[in-house]
Structure 1
């Protein structure tokens, strides 16, 4: 029997070290890690490699249930496939293990609650964005450059300066200069 770990972070900037530490403390001999792979994304090459690596008697271990998949159906499909192959599953944070019928039943319930939590958060987020839009507020970062910058960019452009020269003078990127000039043209 070998304990094999799987870790996943949703963006390339996130650090899976917390997951790795927990998996190693749980006795994982090897940890497969997907970087920049959303749980909703079915393209998780390291998960596929991990599932291929597992043998009967092994235990697939994850730090948290949602690392395996983002919806109940996906998690249960993977766990059912593991069960058919004689491989157990363990989630450290929730303290779940499929070793035994009660563990499999609890896993099903926990996966359903995890999906419910994600769905409720999504609904609240969408409702909040709708209220903000109705009040005239848009999401995202506020523009870094204002009308004064646009006026200066137009003035320099009228004098025949190139976008890179304008960018250097205004201490901004060339792309920002092009955007300011394009916004000016679009508003005319």
Structure 2
């Protein structure tokens, strides 16, 4: 699905509305943030979390992309004497049942991600077996690469080789090394 700015803004508004309705006192936004920067944002939210408070998220995936990360964040929250609540999934770790359900849901999320990775790898293997490879097409075929090495052996400069083959100096070096 193509995600436009408008789509992302609407989804963000939906999250803010849900958090406001649930009584969130402070909101940390990760709008457009992913990977390590999202982890840094989570860290900022966790630093401000005090004993007895509950960290609320709109959806569980706001904490992390894999089971280990989510479990680590939840454990960190519990060590601080705080609770966790996910609005979309209806999870609340202030009770033992919520903690158990969170662990199960996180495991299924990890299973889904691992399955997606397996399917991607299988698809790439089938494509490679059919001599289809992803990425940009090569600028230099095997014959031109051999010609470049031959010219280099004759002490022709890399710059001149690039001009002869119609490629950049970086491309020449990529095939000569």
CA contact (8 A) 1:71 1:111 kept: yes
**Runs of 4+, deviation exceeding 6 Å:** 183-187
- Are 2:117 and 1:122 equivalent residues in the alignment? yes
Q: Which has the higher strand share?
A: 1
Distance between the aligned counterparts of 1:21 and 1:142, measured in 2?
47
Aligned to 2:58: 63
Distance between the aligned counterparts of 1:19 and 1:130, measured in 2?
39
Distance between the aligned counterparts of 1:89 and 1:138, measured in 2?
45
SS at match of 2:27: strand
Q: Note the C-alpha offset of 1:62.
A: 1.2
- Are 2:36 and 1:36 equivalent residues in the alignment? no
Return the match for 1:99 from 94, 97, 119: 94
Q: Note the C-alpha offset of 1:36.
A: 2.8
Q: TM-score, normalised by structure 1?
A: 0.61
Q: Note the C-alpha offset of 1:102.
A: 0.7
Distance 1:27 1:142, change over 3 A: farther
- The Cα offsets for residues 114-139 of structure 1, whole Å up to 9 and x where unpaired, read as 11111101110111122122222233
Pairing of 1:39-188 with structure 2 (within 5 A):
41=36, 44-140=39-135, 181-182=167-168
Q: TM-score, normalised by structure 2?
A: 0.65
Unaligned runs of 5+ in 1: 1-13, 144-179
Distance between the aligned counterparts of 1:71 and 1:121, measured in 2?
13
**Structure ranking higher on relative contact order (CA contacts 8 Å, 6+ apart):** 1
Distance between the aligned counterparts of 2:68 and 2:96, measured in 1?
18
